[in-house]
Structure 1
Amino acid sequence: MVRGNHNAPAPVPVEDSFSPYYLHPSDNPGLQLVSQLLDGSNYINWSRSISTALLPKNKLLFVNGVLLRPSNDDLLFSAWLRCNSMVVSWLRNFISPHICSSIMYLDDAHEIWPDLRERFSQCDSARTYQLKQQLMAPSQGNSDVNTYFTSLRTVWDEYKHTQPLSWCTCNHYRCDSASRWHKQLEDDCTVQFLIGLNHSFSQIRSSILSMVSLPSLSKVFSLVIQEERQRNIDGASSHISPSPSEMHYSVNAASSFYGRLKLLCSHCGKTNHTVDRCFTLHGFPPGFGHGKGKEPPKEYASSKLVNFVEAFIPDSSDKTVPVASLPSVDQCQ
């Protein structure tokens, strides 16, 4: 069994990537950590973004007071001074100019961080009233479900930040009150989200509220967004336009029908046929007569017969011309 060498020298903190004194070659005072500037009204979101960005770089210890300034004769004083100056530069880069001027002479990151928290994190009664007012009557309106959920969640998270973390009854944080309090706040936000949905989502809302255990907020949002997508699919299917071939056929059929209505014979003055198909001028088809079982007049006996191309529909106002009967099979042959 090979034993480790206990006499091996410990790694130098400035060279150890797990040490808070380590600086990566890509770290520089102008590094882009977050995408938003602190303007005074967005401290909650800004502080969480900065904390999340400093944690993987192992530099959060410089702002929360865990790694305080060592004495000047400490071997790590120069390393601490270098890392602290880097963190201070990052903080100043993401603070609006009118706020940054008030902290320009604070050289310790641990002094800047609590100073900003004391000035901007306190939610006064007026802001609490505004948040409660927005949460009392949420409304989706003309927004889609995703936009409505995002705006409501933003307001709710800010309001939740003003509430206590838990209602501990044992003073030792062993009663699991923190998780239960968090679950209660999430259920309240879920109910607020369902209240603000439009009336068209009443069916899915009733289905969710009828569940024995109220689902999580993310699950409720997933169910509602699926319902909205299904409606968009059904709505698109009911408004599908006809294909080009169907449109071409319908246009041709309509134009052919209305085209026949515009036909006018220059010989007899009747509609629905032209002079080249006028029975009076070219002769009547076989079996056509002025009475049942009668032959056509003699003056038409020697007339030129034409093919029975179109149905003869005489003018109802003309009482001298009877309605034509359909030809028999022998006549068609």
Structure 2
Amino acid sequence: MVISWLHNNISDSIKKLILFINDASEVWKSLESRFQVVNGSRKYKLNKDLFSLKQNGLTLVEYYTALTSIWEELDNMNSLPAITVITAEIEAFLKALDVHKQEARLFQFLNGLDDVYAHQRSQVLMMPMLPSVEMSCSLVQQEESQRNTLKLQVDAGHEIAAMYSKANSSERCFECGGKGHTKANCWTIIGYPKWHSKNKKFVSNKSASSGAGKWQGNSGNRNYGNNKMVNNVVVQEDEPKDSNVMISAKQFEQLL
């Protein structure tokens, strides 16, 4: 039965090596002699993975879980001998050994954090008493939670703005045929704003029709016949009728 258990828990390539051994203890000794050196290679790989492990955009939970799994596997491999009699010196030694172990894990955790948590790393290292790695992870997680909350708020604002812009761009006025507004907001119905070139109809006089300029108060606008100077731009009140007009009122509205 034990031999059957062993055969069912090893790969086919290894099974061929013990296929004709009929004693369970001999099977175990054969496997131990062949693969006991793997512990050294495994320890080397685990330590290499531990020293090279970085957060690299992972969440704190994912990063800390990866670290914990390596630490636990190394602890299982690095078993210490049992102590039957505990004296005060041995107890102090074990406490100092545990502090050293916790500090090493804390430094490994802080070393692999992304640079966005550099401030939190400095805060932990400046504490009079270094906290445990679990407490440090909890402190950094609070910062991560705040960052995620702010990011969600910003993303929601961008999404609402995009939806609003898309909705406005899809609107079409059936009165003037323009896009971006409805009939209820059309200027041709509710009136043009004060700054718009079509807000008022400028009265033409003889001097204006002849091309002489006339100032309109302090508005900075000047009449040029059927045209109008607004912010140093000649604008025609109606659609241009000759090639001498530089810009129409509709084009000026689009520019504004």
TM-score (norm 2): 0.53
Deviation at 1:156, TM superposition (A): 3.8
Choose from 6, 10, 13 the match for 1:98: 13
Query: Partner of 1:205 in structure 2?
Result: 121
Query: Partner of 2:131 in structure 1?
Result: 215
Question: What secondary structure sits across from 1:104 in the alignment?
Answer: coil
1:215-253 deviations in whole A, cap 9, x for unaligned? 333333333334323311210111212279955775459
Contact residue 140 and residue 148 of structure 1 kept, 8 A: yes
Choose from 140, 147, 150 the match for 2:55: 140
Count of residue pairs the alignment pairs up:
194
- What is the distance in 2 between the residues matched to 1:116 and 1:180? 38
Question: What secondary structure sits across from 1:242 in the alignment?
Answer: helix
Name the amino acid aligned to 1:255.
G
Over 3 Å counting, the alpha-carbon distance change for 1:90 and 1:129 in structure 2 is closer
Question: What secondary structure sits across from 1:202 in the alignment?
Answer: helix
Identity %: 25
Query: Partner of 1:149 in structure 2?
Result: 64
Choose from 140, 151, 176 the match for 1:224: 140
Deviation at 1:197, TM superposition (A): 0.4
Query: Partner of 2:160 in structure 1?
Result: 242
1:96-141 deviations in whole A, cap 9, x for unaligned? 1112232334555555455544543445766555544444444222
Alignment of 1:304-319 (within 5 A): 316=221, 318-319=223-224
Deviation at 1:201, TM superposition (A): 0.9
- What is the distance in 2 between the residues matched to 1:317 and 1:290? 11
- What is the distance in 2 between the residues matched to 1:248 and 1:125? 62
Choose from 173, 180, 193 the match for 1:255: 180
Kindly indicate which of the two structures has a greater share of residues assigned to helix: 2
Contact residue 138 and residue 193 of structure 1 kept, 8 A: no
Contact residue 160 and residue 185 of structure 1 kept, 8 A: no
Stretches of structure 2 that go unaligned for 5 or more consecutive residues are 173-178, 189-196, 206-218, 230-256
Kindly indicate which of the two structures has a greater share of residues assigned to strand: 2
Over 3 Å counting, the alpha-carbon distance change for 1:144 and 1:161 in structure 2 is same
Question: What secondary structure sits across from 1:152 in the alignment?
Answer: helix
1:22-56 deviations in whole A, cap 9, x for unaligned? xxxxxxxxxxxxxxxxxxxxxxxxxxxxxxxxxxx
- What is the distance in 1 between the residues matched to 2:23 and 2:162? 73
Over 3 Å counting, the alpha-carbon distance change for 1:188 and 1:118 in structure 2 is farther
Over 3 Å counting, the alpha-carbon distance change for 1:122 and 1:245 in structure 2 is closer
Stretches of structure 1 that go unaligned for 5 or more consecutive residues are 1-84, 262-270, 281-288, 292-313, 324-333
Q: CA RMSD in A?
A: 4.7
Query: Partner of 1:77 in structure 2?
Result: none
Name the amino acid aligned to 2:134.
S
Query: Partner of 1:27 in structure 2?
Result: none
- What is the distance in 1 between the residues matched to 2:144 and 2:60? 8
- What is the distance in 2 between the residues matched to 1:115 and 1:183? 40
Over 3 Å counting, the alpha-carbon distance change for 1:249 and 1:98 in structure 2 is closer
Alignment of 1:1-333 (within 5 A): 85=1, 87-106=2-21, 109-113=24-28, 115-122=30-37, 128-161=43-76, 163=78, 165=80, 172=85, 174=87, 175-176=90-91, 177=93, 180-240=96-156, 241-242=159-160, 246-247=164-165, 250-251=168-169, 255-256=180-181, 272=198, 316=221, 318-320=223-225
Contact residue 149 and residue 193 of structure 1 kept, 8 A: yes
Deviation at 1:163, TM superposition (A): 3.9
